[in-house]
Chain A
Amino acid sequence: MKVIIIRYSEIHLKGNNRDYFENVLISNIKYVLKDFEYEFGRSNARYVLRNFDESRIEDIIDAVKNVFGVHSLSIAEEVPSDMEHISAAALKFAPHQGTFKVNTNRADKRFPIPSMSVSAEIGGDILDANPNLKVDLFAPDHVVNIDIRENGKTFVYGETIKAVNGMPVGTGGKGVVMLSGGIDSPVAAYMMAKRGMTLRAVHFHSFPYTSMQARQRVLDLAKIIKKYTLQMTVDVVGFTEIQTAIHEKCPEEYMITIMRRFMMRIAERIAKRHGAGAIITGESLGQVASQTLESITSTNSVATIPVFRPLIGFDKDEIIEISQKINTFETSILPYEDCCTIFLPKRPVTKPRLEHVLKVESVLDVDTLVDNAINSIETVVIE
């Protein structure tokens, strides 16, 4: 019978919490497989899917390999633990050309033949069937794996498909990610989801200074990253009043610094409302004026919960590489005005002093502006 073996990653290190991590991982796997029929089984340090529609096997693999916490997958044959069945299954996974070796793991020590002998015998059967093949024990092109389990069944498989690793989403707390629509923020969201964080997104929208297309782009990006975050809700915050107020009353060069401080305050209010304990941004040190240490100090000072910046040490090229991998790049580069470009000062301050920022900001009625922005929120649940 054809089965899918799912191996999980570092959660086996978690000692007494292991059950908790595993339960979350299993529930995440079941969530991505909600449209499939299958039977779920647990085995030692792995899960096994049985009785699924074999014509949809590629779709199942694609869904599961993007679940954080999954280390790798294999398509295997599950056969009774006897040499005849094992040999027949091994022939199905034998390569057509090149070099190979057979790797045997005998978890069931009651099985009468030692591992090495099983490998040698099955290797012989494969060679008999295809004399063009060669055995290479050290650097083979292909490996045929035989895993003799305690339950009288053996898994035989070839290729191992790499999955995304990381920690199961839901085991790393809850955070609010600021999604601008650019390249960086979806990557930041991906990085935190990879460490098990459950995410909710906030987007600042300034119609008519930013377009409905820019808002749609953010929702499209949210849909792409939902593949990894499993669930996604975007709070779209009306930001026009704040932007125009800052623009009217504060020195031009402080526009971005003060704007970012407002975004941080609003993100924190949203976080607290939804029981989230962190804010996530796509900042990378020194990338733009608002991402110098001094600017980050100014914006960070309004937050009372941790602000995670998973891209802080990344070069733009490295960020782009991940965004291409997770398929957000093409959407991120669509050319719409976003809220940071429209009032972009000619010479933004790169090293704002916090005392001075506080002084220039003091002309604004911060609480009312934040309240109004919070009241303007339109919540979009990404399906």
Chain B
Amino acid sequence: MIHYFDNCATTRVDDDIANLIVQYHTTKYFNPSARSTFSLRISNDISAARDKIRKLLGASSGEILFTSGGTEADNLAIFGSLRSKKGNIIVTAAEHSATYNTVAELNSKGYEVRYADVLPDGHIDVDNFVSKVDDETLLACFMHVNNETGAVNDVKLINQLIKEKYPQTVTFSDGIQAVGKVPVNLRHLGVDLYSFAGHKIHCSKGIGALYVKDGIRLSPALFGGGQEKGLRSGTEYVAGIIALSAALEKALNLLPSNSQSFESYKNTIRQSLEKVKEWKEICKENCSPAILSLAFGGIKGEVLLHMLERYDLIVGTGSACSSKNKQSRIAKAIGLESNYSEGVIRISFSKYNTAEEVCLLADKLAESVTELRKIMFGK
């Protein structure tokens, strides 16, 4: 049996969600834009899902636009919100590649990109970030939960400080690791744009969304039949949209109890690692309960990951989305000492994890680190 602790990379789709997806492929497969009554029903289902998601995320107004996933939502937010050909964009090096590389693309198109600092635990250095805002700042990008360290940023505060300094700046927060994992109330957070994705909350891959606050005008990402208010043409992934609203509802219902379990799982692992030397928890405070990011001195995270794989324990080594690069940009951005920077593993929980398998992980993790160090330095 697989013990899966890489739920930041993706999650198992719930059986009932999978059934719902099948249903919208086999019996309710009509094109929502067509003229039949059957199509109208599908169109109404989409509208209901859209309203439900908006309410679940605490937004009384504004729009939810469906996309193919988190990356597309981030791209739509960043490319779509620029209203001027001149100006600056603020971002941190700790952003997910979907934001970081999209902003870098804008840099190559002539926009000025300002990089704000990140604290050693992965939190955004708020003062430094806000100090970069001026009256030419078009867009500020600050993620809600860091996908590698789990650091939860004070999105409300950052948004407020930016708007006080220059209200015209569009604020965008990547909520992909936040939705369903930490409380999210869009009205309370106040940001203009907020992205999230289905496959992080036991829904399928291929569906994501962007929240757009009232009054924020976007330019289209895709042209065609004019779906999604003309901003994202293409026949809607109906099954994904319906499933996303159902999965989100389930995730939010379970959020309090999950958070409690996850904190106790973290404690089990911490206790087991007491007998191991030279390790650190990268983010200890204001951290997502679902993420435990650990750095071990002198060893390589990838090797540790494969050692755990021997016991069917699956963990991550940071972002699966940037695993095509050997060095973690985020490990560098948070200034992790060189002895630790290659030895990072990310454990991320889901509701399917049990206390029993966490005990197994805790034991085998301590055992594998010791074994690996003995092999490497044990002479």
A contact set with B: CB distance below 8 Å: 207-212, 244, 247-248, 334-337, 342-343
Tell me whether B41 is interfacial, beta carbon within 8 Å: no
Inter-chain contact B303/A209, CB cutoff 8 Å: yes
Given contacts A209-B306, A337-B300, A337-B303, 9 further A-B pairs with CB under 8 A are: A207-B306, A211-B302, A212-B306, A244-B375, A248-B375, A248-B379, A334-B324, A335-B324, A335-B325
Which B residues from 341 to 379 make CB contacts under 8 A with A?
A: 375-376, 378-379
Beta-carbon contact of A342 and B300 below 8 Å: yes
| A335 vs B302: C-alpha distance when bound (angstroms) | 11
A19, B202: Cα distance in complex, Å:
65
With an 8 A cutoff between CB atoms, is B326 at the interface? Answer: yes
The 5 A-B pairs of least Cβ separation, nearest first, read A208-B306, A335-B326, A208-B307, A337-B302, A209-B303
Cβ of B310 within 8 Å of any chain A Cβ, yes or no, is yes
- B12-64 residues with Cβ-Cβ distance < 8 A to A are none
Near A by CB (< 8 A), chain B positions 126-162 give none
Q: Could you list 17 examples of A-B contacts with CB < 8 Å?
A: A209-B303, A209-B306, A210-B306, A212-B306, A247-B375, A247-B376, A247-B379, A248-B378, A248-B379, A335-B324, A335-B325, A335-B326, A337-B300, A337-B302, A337-B303, A342-B300, A342-B303
Q: Which residues of A contact B325 (CB under 8 A)?
A: 335
Chain B residue contacts of A335, Cβ below 8 A: 323-326
CA distance A248 to B309 in the complex (A): 23
Taking CB atoms, residues of chain B closer than 8 Å to A248 are: 375, 378-379
What total of A-B pairs shows CB separation below 8 Å?
A: 31
B interface, CB within 8 angstroms of A: 300, 302-303, 306-307, 309-310, 323-326, 375-376, 378-379
A208 and B379 form a contact (CB under 8 A): no
Nearest CB in chain B to that of A341: its residue = B300
Please give, as numbers and ranges, the residues of chain A lying within 8 Å of B324 by CB-CB distance.
Answer: 334-335
C-alpha gap A339/B30 in the complex (Å): 53
Q: How far is the CB of B246 from chain A (nearest CB, A)?
A: 34
In the bound complex, residues from chain B placing their C-beta under 8 Å from that of A336 are: 302
Check A343–B379 contact: CB distance below 8 A.
no
Bound: A209/B309 CA distance, A: 12
What's the Cα separation between A210 and B378 when bound, in Å? 20
Contact between chains at A208 and B303 (CB < 8 Å):
yes
CA distance A264 to B379 in the complex (A): 26
The complex places the Cα of A212 from the Cα of B314 at a distance, in Å, of 14
Contacts of B378 in A (CB 8 A): 248
Pairwise interchain contact B310-A343, C-beta atoms closer than 8 A: no
Q: How far is the CB of B117 from chain A (nearest CB, A)?
A: 26
| Chain A nearest CB, measured from B322 CB (Å) | 10
Q: Are B376 and A343 neighbours in the complex by a CB distance under 8 Å?
A: yes
* Separation of A248 and B300 alpha carbons in the complex (Å): 18
Contact B309 A208 (CB under 8 A): yes
A342 to B343, CA, bound (A): 12
Alpha-carbon gap, A337 to B379, bound state (A): 23
Set of chain A residues within 8 Å of B310, measured between Cβ atoms: 208
CB distance from A195 to the nearest CB of B (A): 34
Query: Which B residues touch A342, using CB under 8 A?
Result: 300, 303
Residues of B within 8 A of A244 (CB): 375
Q: Min CB distance, A231 to chain B, in Å?
A: 30
List residues of chain B with CB within 8 A of the CB of A334.
324
**Chain A residue nearest to B302 in the complex (CB):** A337
- By beta carbon, the residue of chain A nearest B304 is A208
Report the nearest B residue to A334, measured CB to CB.
Answer: B324
B25 smallest CB distance to A (angstroms) = 31
Task: Name the residue on B nearest A343 (C-beta).
Answer: B376
How far, in angstroms, from A212 to B305 measured CA to CA in the complex?
A: 12
